[in-house]
Structure 1
Amino acid sequence: MPPRTPRPRGSRSPHRRELILNAAAELFVTPGYAKLSMADLAEAVGIVPSALYRHFSGKQQILATVLAAGLAPIHELVGALDPADPADSARRLSALALDQRHLGLMWQREARNLDSAAYQSLRTVVQEIEQRLSRYVHALRPELPDAGSDLLAGSIIAVMTSPSFHRYTLPRAAFEQLLATLVDAVLSTELPSPRAGAPRPPDGGPALTPASRREELLAQAIRMFAARGYAEVGIEEIARAAGIAGPSIYNHWPTKRDLLVTALRRGAAALAMDVAINYRWASDPADALRRHLRSHVKLAQSYPEIFSLLITDLDHLNEDEMQEIVRAQHEHVLEWAHLLRLHQPGIDTVAARIRVHAVLSISSETARTPHLRHGAAQPEAIEAIGANLLGLPGPESPPAAPGRPIT
């Protein structure tokens, strides 16, 4: 995002409240709520800090107002979607997604900084958006059960918010068209019937406790960080949750940040190892993509907390650690996009990466949403949606032996 040009101090604007909100919307994304001071915001607008308080009681109210202003047009649009014209509906959704590109990241990363009343008020709006979109899906696909409509609606939201989590861009018309195409692909997916007796994604803590105290502490930390946020969890709380005296944790983990860094590195390493294994066994690019998709869905549904931490708490790492994790995520996307372009040679490089981000967003966001994870979002359904977005052929059983290498 280009740097903002502060207004000259002392100048007055009849739209100062709007200027404050516009500046805050940018600054809540970078550097983020926790690192943004009221003085920084005042400087961006070109006023003294005390002038902010003529319009807002504090930073929390500014955040709540920015989020409410972002959610309002989405709430209105989703309620007005016309099932008789799905192409126009997809186009309008895509245009608004790009207009509000910052909103997905801001909501997921920063909303928990609000007080309970403000958060619940906005959460109600988000739930109404989800319900309205689910009703729209049901009008288009009346044969689907409610859980299926909810899943496709959640997947559309994931597609629409996915540009919030990367910086790739296309000419506006091409970007809108690509997102609309992805929405259409979600809506056209034939969902497999849930298998009777199929295992459900795990929820809560593990049923078994590791023999290693170090591993148990890490598992507790991941669960608590994802539920409450890294900054809100004390290292001695983690020790108590594992049943040991607070100071004893330092025998296993020198600092709280070491727990966070290890969790994120493990997630990155798991994905990287899956990619290496999938390359070795895949028979062609389409088979490799399908294996990547299956691996990602399995990891996301097994450990949704890791994917939450990548969104909410990455900024607690130091610069080198953050760059390490960001680089691993970037390289993971590049591997998918490489295979997608081998499978579909005509696809543009940037468009391939945007499409991959949308698929990964569906996988992680449906896993992080409890009612989707335990509804129709069994792995096969998510794989079917992702495969449709990637233009893969119908599902196949993985080959029993390694195929030829992919280069």
Structure 2
Amino acid sequence: MVAYPSLDRLADLQWHRKDPRPVAGTGPTYLEEVDVPDRALAPPRGTRPRNRRALILGAASDLFARRGYDQIGMSDLAEAVAIGPSALYRHFSSKQNLLREVIIGGLAPMRQLLENLNLADQSTASAQLAALCLDERHLGVLWQREARRLSLNDYARVRTEVREIGRRLTDRVRAARPELDRRTADLVTWATLAVLMSPSFHDLEMPRPAYDELLAELAGLVLETSLPSAFAAPSPPPVGPVLLPASRREALLAQAVRMFAAQGFASVGMEDIGNAVGITGPSVYNHFPSKLDMLRTAFQRGTAALLMDVSTIYQTSSGAADALRRLVVSYIRFSQVHHDLIGLLITEVEHLPEVERHAARRAQHNYLTEWVHLLQLMYPELEATAARIRVHSAVAVANDTARTPHLRHNPDVPAAIESICGRLLGL
């Protein structure tokens, strides 16, 4: 499984506490496993730079994104900018307030850019969007993983900003492509944003401006993709699964995945899961020794299912292009059906022990390597890093649409996503 958070998903996720109000909550990045050294952000100790507030915000963005909000203390942030904790508190009264400023402040440039963006001049517009998203590369992780740490009021501000960004870009898409109805333009919007945000969830690097040019090209491919002029209205969301497993173990696992995705791993107890499937008391432990074992089992099964698809496709395809196209279709189908599991890979993978977390990331890397391998067989001149960035962008589009309910419930979306991913991969 290859998990990326959806930008629009901020409006659809459940709060990590047991609270019925929707709020952001896509958690630890499930990324390529790359060691990144701490960046030398601190000015010389004892100096008083005029841009100290900006330095603090930059350090917080970097540390929250790479190590996670829960793993960073105010003392870590103070050390990163070579000041004492008391001086840090003069600028920000709490770590949560600092996170709010990092996220909400980071959203402002995108909103401002969209005020006058002209997608009719697509090459210029794509270049502007790509440069901004690479300049603010951490924002995707912070919006999706760490916004759940904000207060409900602050999250509401984030959600409002995100929705406004989506609305403005959809308006720009419709102005440039008047043949599209609003539902189709909405899909183009979120697919474009998925591509632009995808570098936030891996550590692949290219020199700039080459990286800007590649990301702009990928965004432009989405904006240009030929799609139906009108989409069907989304189907009503299902109330729940029509069929339940006969096995109590399987029923528990399926329910655990749904509840972890909706409420957060930390907020769900074993008894809650058992009660949801009619198993009370300690008998639930006869099937799983802990809820961590449930989470681990769900991740392992998802990865095994995808790798089995790779094996089947390799044995039955007529060539690299056929195999890659079938991998795209397979992954879209998987992500649409198992959207809760895709979400858990973003929000809850931090709960795995370190060794298992690294193993999960390595499995993801291996799965994506097969996509890259097929893409380079099709285009031998394509450099490995550029190929992998293309693959990440396509996977991000599949994940985002699967995890955004109003897109997932639209019967026209999977075929459209296949077309978009096909363009991104040169199929």
* TM-score, structure 2 normalization: 0.87
Match of 1:373 among 408, 418, 423: 408
* Structure 2 partner of 1:22: 58
The C-alpha deviation readout for 1:214-248, integer Å capped at 9, x for no partner, is 11111111112112222222222222222222433
Q: Deviations over 1:262-317 (max 9, x none)?
A: 11111111111111111111101111011000000001110111111111222211
- TM-aligned CA deviation for residue 7 of structure 1: 4.9
Of residues 288, 298, 319, the one that matches 1:284 is: 319
User: C-alpha distance in 2, partners of 1:84/1:275?
Assistant: 39
Partner of 1:330 in structure 2? 365
In 1, are the aligned partners of 2:259 and 2:268 still within 8 Å (CA)?
A: yes
Aligned counterparts of 1:10 and 1:316: Cα–Cα separation in 2: 39
C-alpha displacement at 1:159, in angstroms?
0.2
Cα distance, 1:193 vs structure 2: 7.2
1:155-188 alpha-carbon deviations (Å, 9 max, x no partner): 0000001111111111111111111111111112
Aligned CA distance change for structure 1 residues 171 and 290 (closer, same or farther; 3 Å): same
Aligned length: 391
Listed one character per residue, the Cα deviations across residues 56-91 of structure 1 (whole Å, up to 9, x for unaligned) are 231211111100111000111122211331110000
Q: Where do 1:268-347 residues align within 5 Å?
A: 268-347=303-382
CA shift in 2, pair 1:322/1:203, >3 Å: farther
In 1: Cα distance, 2:232 partner to 2:135 partner: 43
Contact 2:313/2:327 (8 A) holds in 1: yes
Match of 1:226 in 2: 261
What corresponds to 2:178 in structure 1?
Answer: 142
Report the Cα distance in structure 2 between the residues aligned to 1:7 and 1:317, rounded to whole angstroms. Answer: 36
Residues 373 and 323 (structure 1), Cα distance of their counterparts in 2 relative to 1, 3 Å cut: same
Instruction: Give the aligned partner of residue 99 of structure 1.
Output: 135
Higher mean alpha-carbon deviation, 187-196 vs 334-343, is at: 187-196
Aligned 8 A contact 1:279 1:288 in 2: yes
Q: Secondary structure at the match of 2:133?
A: helix
- Quickly say closer, same or farther: Cα 1:38–1:202, change in 2 above 3 A: same
Letter in 1 for 2:293: D
2:332·2:398 contact (CA, 8 Å) conserved in 1?
yes
Does the 8 Å contact 2:376/2:382 carry over to 1? Answer: yes
Equivalences for 1:180-195 in 2 at 5 Å? Answer: 180-192=216-228
Q: Secondary structure at the match of 1:345?
A: coil
Counterpart-to-counterpart distance in 2, 1:204 and 1:170: 45
2:156 alignment partner in structure 1: 120
Distance 1:273 1:227 in 2: 28
The whole-number CA distance in structure 1 between the counterparts of 2:239 and 2:392 is 27
Is 1:54 equivalent to 2:113 in the alignment? no
Q: Which runs of 5+ in 2 are unaligned?
A: 1-35
Mean CA deviation greater in 285-294 or 3-12:
3-12
Q: 1:41 to 1:203 in 2, by over 3 A?
A: farther
Cα distance change on mapping 1:389 and 1:204 into 2, 3 Å: farther
- Which consecutive unaligned segments of at least 5 residues does structure 1 have? 393-407
2-side partners of 1:271 and 1:303: how far apart?
Answer: 12
| Pair 1:155-2:202 in alignment | no
State the percentage of identical aligned residues: 52
Q: Is the 8 A contact 1:109 1:311 kept in 2?
A: yes
Residues 147 and 375 of structure 1 are in contact (CA less than 8 Å); yes or no, is this contact kept in structure 2? Answer: no
Does 304-313 or 202-211 show the bigger shift? 202-211
Alignment check: 8 A CA contact 1:366 1:377 kept? no
2:126 to 90, 104, 111: 90
Residue number in structure 2 paired with 1:398: none
